[in-house]
């Protein structure tokens, strides 16, 4: 149990201590005694400091701030240094606006492409989400502003989000849904963690002592404040008991409940004091943070936002090297998003940008001598005449040498607060694609969307596709930079693009019914699922092209205490400078556990000039090689041969090698009920059993060592206490001795 000294609040009355545990207003805490009030506000990809009225749905206006690319795009950079820089910039803007805690990042796993909030999350992969989240938090907090890692935990759908229970088995919960949080907490020490609205296996996250105290504090050593999502607390007393420190927005009514519970003996006063002390310590951290002074130049941050956006655009397809475009000839630009870009998602994270780059204008600025024409093509709000808009766009495209076609989802089609029913692009846009490719073969599609969209038909119909996800306020410039080769694309998908929604792992279990969501696909989330079932996908996890090419050679592995060190040589074999995202996946073909065919365990980015090569070294950390062993409720590394592949995507593995790794972590004790298979996989136990079997079979016709393979296989699932020599009362002493020797 964590009993921080509560010297800073011990002079306060119970009422005052309780008041520290809830907000004074929508976005700030109370000031009591020496503890000053501070502001918490959204987050994550900009600072949303509201003016005049308050709400947590992004409705009321807020001060202008740089709108960086939301997590879905930023993750596509796979660039921890970039994430750290964005974190630093956010910290500077937060401080300038007197914000002590910025509510982000969101490190929930993209379990299903329909989740309305996927644009705010990094990836379907926990290792990638955790590494990126940790870098973001490190950057932010280096400026003296606290992060709030959210939404803890297993909040992977918006439907019924304030009641639904995410019903997840323990191994999946640990390896997939908690792992990203664990990494951020252990590596970046966030000042706060935000508990989610939903229930986890039936218990509200805000009231889950196992989650908020046993796992978060006792196991991961979290030393900050657990803050509720806005309005997530149903029962303040139960929440405080579970380890929740700060209810937001909260208020004096729930403070009174806490006081009453202490007075009537149902809540210990020390629990209230410990929570109050944590809030007081956070306030002191914020005060210390104010001393780090910075001056923000909005133009500098806009440039960073453009750099970040350019590093986040994935080149999905580029047949006959249609891209980059020459700044000459006749360029047609089609699609509403070229003039009215969609660059962020809806809800609590909606930022009021300092300015917005318009793609059409940015294209014109880089188009040199080219003539640039424009047609709207469609509307996202349903107004306008579809047919007339389409006909006009077709004429514009026909009268061009190349057509840049902006497609995507409008604000009304995805947002925080609800999930999508379909992941198709709107029908009028699909009809527009068909009409344009009938008159123009040189088409570059540029996509704006928060959640994954089905691309199978488009990928067949057009030669080039750029996937911008949602790129923030400078996305327009970034797209132009990529189109004209000012920047060589290097981003990679952080989420699989399936051929059909029906192929998705949670297709039949999303969003659940009667407020229960069964995580039936278990560990097999995202590419883990598509790979295990050998399901074709339109674009795999980790996919992304470049205007150059890279060669992989000399993969070498060595097993060390901290993990497997992998080195691989990367050579830029093309004729322009480029950046490669090198991905390392591990597999364990002979594993005794349920395992996906491959899992991301490391990655690095490398910048190379034409012809240049470099050796990339990455440690696949033991922590990431561990699996959750439910029989001992603990992490273990399974001993054996691991196959490690280095590649350019999860389905473009260029080099593979095998390394033997020793086991680590507590061993699973053998019991009277252990099977022969389990016994024989323990070398010490196997030797004793073989000796005993040989002894008992002396003189019999078939020696144990001569048993047929089929019999040996059958014996594998035989509990040892039901096996001749060890069975019944007679066998018990020998069995006990065996267990004592092997279990120590
Ligand atoms: C969202 C949080 C957000 C909070 C405050 C909630 O509705 O789930 O992510 O930080 O509001 O706006």
Q: Is the CB of 158 inside a 6 Å radius of any atom of ligand 1?
A: no
Please tell me whether the peptide bond between 65 and the residue prior to it is cis, using omega within 30 degrees of 0.
Answer: no
pLDDT, one tens digit per residue, over 621-663 is 999 999 999 999 999 999 999 999 999 999 999 999 999 999 9
**Residue of 156, 192, 348 with the most ligand 1 atoms within 8 Å of its CB, for mutation:** 348
Strands 203-204 and 199-200: antiparallel
Q: Is the CB of 20 inside a 6 Å radius of any atom of ligand 1?
A: no
Q: Nearest-CA neighbor of 232 among 275, 181, 195, 191?
A: 195
How high is the pLDDT of residue 292?
Answer: 76
How high is the pLDDT of residue 1?
Answer: 40
Return d(Cα 474, Cα 332) in angstroms, integer.
21
Tell me how crowded residue 598 is: count the other CB atoms within 10 A of its CB: 23
How high is the pLDDT of residue 3?
Answer: 44
Give nearest CA residue, ligand 1 atom 8. 229
Q: Which residue has the higher pLDDT, 463 or 681?
A: 463
How high is the pLDDT of residue 678?
Answer: 87
Q: What is the mean pLDDT of residues 51-63?
A: 77
What are the residues facing 314 on neighbouring strands?
467
**Tally of CA atoms within 13 A in the half-sphere of 276 that contains its CB:** 29
Q: Which residue has the higher pLDDT, 292 or 741?
A: 741
Give nearest CA residue, ligand 1 atom 5. 56
Q: Which one of 112, 125, 229, 624 is the catalytic residue? A: 229
Strands 371-375 and 330-334: parallel
Tokens describing residue 303: 């440039």
Asked about 55 being catalytic, the answer comes back as no
Q: What is the mean pLDDT of residues 534-557?
A: 98
Q: How confident is the model at residue 698 (pLDDT cuts 50, 70, 90)?
A: low
Q: What is the mean pLDDT of residues 233-253?
A: 97
Longest dimension (CA), the chain: 96
Average pLDDT, the chain: 94
Contact 40, 311 (CB under 8 A): no
Q: How confident is the model at residue 700 (pLDDT cuts 50, 70, 90)?
A: low
Return d(Cα 729, Cα 733) in angstroms, integer.
8
pLDDT, one tens digit per residue, over 66-96 is 999 999 999 999 999 999 999 999 999 999 9
Q: Nearest-CA neighbor of 156 among 132, 140, 172, 171?
A: 172
Q: Is the dihedral of CA 253, 258, 264, 269 positive or negative?
A: negative
Question: Looking at the predicted structure, is the pLDDT value of residue 55 above 80?
Answer: no
Q: Is the CB of 357 inside a 6 Å radius of any atom of ligand 1?
A: no
Assign 44 to helix, strand or coil. coil
Q: What is the mean pLDDT of residues 672-699?
A: 80
Q: What is the mean pLDDT of residues 348-374?
A: 97
For 221-286, give the DSSP string. Answer: ---SEEEE-TT--S-HHHHHHHT--BBSS--HHHHHHHHHHHHTTSS-HHHHHHHHHHHHHHHHHH
367 CA → ligand 1 middle, Å: 41
How high is the pLDDT of residue 706?
Answer: 57
Q: How confident is the model at residue 696 (pLDDT cuts 50, 70, 90)?
A: low
How high is the pLDDT of residue 269?
Answer: 97
Q: Is the CB of 150 inside a 6 Å radius of any atom of ligand 1?
A: yes
Question: Looking at the predicted structure, is the pLDDT value of residue 198 above 60?
Answer: yes
297 CA → ligand 1 middle, Å: 28
DSSP 205: G
247 CA → ligand 1 middle, Å: 13
Ligand 1 atom nearest residue 55's Cα: 12
What are the residues facing 377 on neighbouring strands?
none
Tokens describing residue 534: 């050998």
Q: What is the mean pLDDT of residues 246-261?
A: 97
Return d(Cα 217, Cα 150) in angstroms, integer.
16
Chain centroid offset of residue 490 CA: 19
Question: Looking at the predicted structure, is the pLDDT value of residue 59 above 80?
Answer: no
Q: Is the CB of 200 inside a 6 Å radius of any atom of ligand 1?
A: no
**pTM for the whole structure:** 0.96
């Amino acid at each position: 149990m964590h009993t921080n000294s509560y010297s800073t609040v011990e002079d306060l009355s119970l009422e005052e201590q309780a008041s520290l545990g809830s907000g004074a207003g929508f976005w700030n805490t109370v000031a009591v005694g020496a503890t000053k009030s501070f502001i918490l506000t959204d987050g994550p990809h900009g600072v949303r400091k509201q003016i005049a009225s308050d709400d947590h749905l992004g409705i009321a206006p807020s001060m202008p701030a740089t709108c960086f690319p939301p997590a879905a795009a930023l993750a596509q950079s796979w660039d921890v240094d970039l994430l750290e820089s964005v974190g630093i910039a956010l910290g500077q803007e937060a401080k300038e606006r007197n914000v002590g805690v910025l509510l982000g990042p969101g490190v929930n796993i993209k379990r299903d492409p329909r989740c309305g909030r996927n644009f705010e999350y990094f990836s379907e992969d926990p290792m990638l989400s955790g590494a990126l989240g940790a870098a973001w938090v490190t950057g932010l907090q280096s400026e003296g502003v606290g992060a709030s890692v959210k939404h803890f935990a297993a909040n992977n759908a918006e439907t019924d989000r304030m009641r639904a229970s995410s019903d997840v088995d323990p191994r999946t919960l640990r390896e997939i849904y908690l792992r990203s949080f664990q990494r951020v907490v252990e590596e970046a020490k966030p000042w706060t963690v935000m508990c989610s609205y939903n229930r986890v296996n039936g218990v509200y996250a805000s009231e889950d002592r196992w989650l908020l105290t046993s796992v978060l504090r006792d196991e991961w050593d979290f030393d900050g404040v657990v803050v509720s999502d806005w309005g997530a607390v149903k029962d303040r007393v139960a929440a405080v008991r579970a380890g929740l420190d700060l209810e937001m927005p909260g208020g004096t009514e729930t403070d009174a409940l806490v006081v009453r519970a202490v007075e009537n003996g149902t809540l210990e006063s020390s629990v209230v004091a410990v929570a109050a002390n944590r809030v007081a310590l956070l306030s002191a951290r914020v005060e210390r943070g104010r001393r780090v002074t910075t001056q923000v130049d909005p133009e500098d941050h806009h440039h960073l936002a453009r750099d970040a956006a350019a590093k986040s655009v994935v080149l999905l397809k580029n047949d006959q090297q249609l891209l980059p475009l020459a700044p000459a000839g006749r360029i047609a630009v089609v699609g509403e998003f070229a003039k009215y870009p969609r660059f962020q998602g809806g809800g609590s994270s909606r930022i009021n940008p300092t300015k917005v780059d318009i793609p059409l204008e940015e294209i014109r600025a880089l188009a040199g001598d080219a003539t640039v024409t424009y047609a709207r093509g469609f509307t996202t709000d349903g107004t306008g005449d579809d047919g007339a808009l389409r006909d006009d766009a077709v004429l514009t495209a026909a009268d061009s040498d190349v057509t840049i076609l902006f497609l995507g989802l409008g604000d009304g089609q995805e947002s925080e607060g609800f999930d999508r029913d379909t992941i198709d692009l709107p029908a009028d846009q699909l009809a527009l694609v068909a009409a344009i490719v009938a008159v123009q073969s040189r088409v570059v599609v540029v996509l704006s969307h928060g959640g994954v969209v089905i691309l199978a038909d488009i990928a067949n119909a057009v030669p080039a596709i750029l996937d911008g996800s949602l790129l923030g306020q400078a996305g327009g410039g970034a797209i132009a930079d990529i189109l004209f080769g000012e920047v060589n694309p290097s981003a990679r998908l952080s989420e699989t693009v399936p051929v059909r929604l029906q192929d998705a792992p949670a297709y039949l279990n999303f969003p659940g019914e009667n407020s229960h969501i069964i995580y039936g696909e278990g560990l097999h989330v995202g590419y883990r699922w598509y790979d295990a079932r050998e399901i074709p996908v339109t674009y795999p996890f980790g996919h992304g092209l470049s205007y150059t090419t890279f060669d992989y050679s000399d993969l070498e592995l060595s097993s060390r205490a901290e993990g497997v060190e992998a080195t691989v040589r990367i050579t830029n074999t093309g004729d322009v400078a480029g950046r490669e995202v090198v991905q390392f996946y591990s597999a364990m073909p002979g594993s005794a556990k349920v395992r996906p065919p491959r899992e991301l365990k490391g990655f690095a980015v490398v910048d190379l000039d034409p012809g240049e090569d470099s050796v990339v070294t990455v440690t696949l950390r033991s922590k990431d090689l561990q699996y959750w062993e439910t029989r001992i409720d603990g992490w273990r590394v399974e001993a054996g041969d691991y196959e490690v592949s280095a590649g350019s995507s999860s389905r473009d593995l260029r080099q593979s090698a095998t390394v033997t790794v020793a086991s680590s972590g507590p061993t699973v004790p053998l019991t009277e009920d252990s099977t022969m298979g389990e016994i024989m996989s323990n070398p010490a136990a196997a030797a004793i059993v073989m000796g005993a079997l040989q002894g008992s079979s002396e003189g019999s016709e078939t020696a144990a060592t001569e048993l047929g393979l089929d019999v040996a296989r059958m014996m594998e699932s035989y509990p040892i206490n039901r096996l001749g020599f060890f069975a019944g009362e007679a066998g018990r002493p020998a069995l006990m001795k065996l267990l004592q020797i092997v279990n120590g």
